[in-house]
Structure 1
């Protein structure tokens, strides 16, 4: 019996040490797991086949010069979407999405983060907020766009940047694609054996912040089969948001294919038009 007790204690100790090693590794490398940038320089705009696509530079308050893509609005009565993308790739992978709205004259600013697309710097939560402010200041100060001409759009991880910007800047609307209540909630769902709420450095606490955004309508779009950010995360965030708001479930949609469903672009366009923000469907 003493031998059995020793074996049990030894096994438990080994398992505990293994768990500690996993926790320690995830703590040390958590930003490597959260941010998956394509660090290659952005391709030249001409390769995307959008004549009005421009490469621009955004200066951040901490001295970084960020490359970004910009499609100016084609008419005076249409506004501009500022798009904050998800954690992987770079903005070149979102040009096709942006072009859908630009076809109807809408401007789009595709914001590239530090550490992505050949930009200097290392991505962090506060760093991405700084990058977001540079984008918002570009539209409001350099382009002199009024709030009613700007829609803030956040995709996945970019929903964290978008919600933060909506707490700091007036805008016509906030659109969130596959958003989360917080990164801690998502991490806890994926790694239930890890005390994520204690360990995470970058929390992007959307559910706490969305209650404090500037007055603007909110649209949340989420796929029912999302295997990365659970559908329930979008539902929770929607419940926390103030009116006016709208939730669009995309039946069968996963985390990365919502624009394969015509409903996505149609619903977002209808939302913008209903709010009197853009005359989105008056294609020239």
Structure 2
């Protein structure tokens, strides 16, 4: 009987060690900033090479931009590109890039808002670009960073400044997660393009797609590793729960050919908020490719939404 007990303990111990190894492997694979082979050469839809040459030239011109920094609540030095409007309008757009992208990949999106008369702030998320950090927060710790960026803009441009938030992919999840926080009245609208419902749902989906593995128990173990190494649980990072607290008008954009962040997530997100809302399904658009499908329609849709909801 003792042998059976010892064998049982040994099997359990080996299973725990194996899961711990697998959890750390998946943490390094998904959460540690590094080149990601599953992105096929760049963050979908936010690669610098995809920006229009004219937008890229304007965005890169040092005469058009300033570099801003701040220190996060947990002591990281974070960086952002600030592009003032040509004339003072009292409006600022804060733009969030995608997974393993950075501020420099967002020329096309920054130009949309600049052409509409906005100051534009494009932060590097923690662990990306010029910002410090050794992990990816998938929007959850970043939501607090965005509250600080919002307050920095108000301090810089005055208490009457109106602010709109825009994000694509992980950046879209970031602004949706920010939406559930106690925002200053200056924040008047939010636009998200192809964000995910939650980190558990997105990473569980990717685990199935990339490795043909079920979410349980590997996601649970990786979440524990993430809590120990990065300070948050996957289960906390939930855009649906945050949208339930949102009161700001929000515009949802998603391509119906998206298989990276499943198109089916759109309705779950849209139905999660009772705030004023609109959605646009872009036929044939893959992940984060709605702008590339029809740039003019994309600009017009954003402009129409902001005209309706982004009041001074």
Q: Same fold (TM over 0.5)?
A: yes
Specify whether residues 276 and 165 from structure 1 end up closer, same or farther in structure 2 by C-alpha distance, changes over 3 A only. closer
Among candidates 146, 161, 175, match of residue 162 of structure 1? 175
Output aligned runs, 1:98-137, within 5 Å: 98-125=110-137, 127-137=141-151
Displacement after TM superposition at 1:80 (Å): 1.0
SS at match of 1:88: coil
In the TM superposition, what whole-angstrom CA distance separates every residue of 1:203-252 from its partner, at most 9, and x where no partner exists? 42001110102x21110000111121011112210011113100111111
Return the TM-score normalized by structure 2: 0.72
Is 1:198 the counterpart of 2:195? The answer is no
Change (3 A) 1:22 1:146: farther
For these two proteins, the number of residue pairs brought into alignment is 256
Q: Does 1:222 align with 2:254?
A: yes
Contact 1:223/1:250 (8 A) holds in 2:
yes
Gaps of 5+ in 1: 1-12, 279-284
Matched, 1:141 2:174: no
Partner of 2:165: 152
Q: Name the CA shift for 1:35/1:111 in 2 (closer, same or farther; >3 Å).
A: farther
| Residues 67 and 80 in structure 2, CA contact (< 8 A), matched pair in contact too | yes
Contact 2:177–2:238 at 8 Å: present in 1 too? no
**Residue 268 (str. 1) matches residue 302 (str. 2):** yes
SS at match of 1:89: coil
SS in 2 for 1:180: coil
Say what the alpha-carbon RMSD is for the aligned residues: 3.0
- Listed as ranges, the gaps of 5+ residues in structure 2 are 1-10, 36-47, 49-56, 209-213, 224-232
The residue aligned with 1:30 is 27
Q: How far has the Cα of 1:22 moved from its partner?
A: 7.3
Cα distance in structure 2, aligned partners of 1:71 and 1:228? 31
**Structure 1 119/257 Cα, relative in aligned 2: closer, same or farther at 3 Å?**
same
Q: In the alignment, which residue of structure 2 is the partner of 1:281?
A: none
Contact 2:32 2:134 in 1 (8 A): no
- Does the residue aligned with 1:248 lie in a helix, a strand or coil? strand
Q: What's 1:8 paired with?
A: none
Deviation for aligned residue 1:197 = 5.5
Q: 1: CA distance between counterparts of 2:62 and 2:265?
A: 34
2:62 & 2:274 partners in 1: Cα distance? 37
In 2, Cα distance between the equivalents of 1:65 and 1:119? 6
Are the structure 2 counterparts of residues 168 and 28 from structure 1 closer, same or farther at C-alpha, using a change threshold of 3 Å? farther
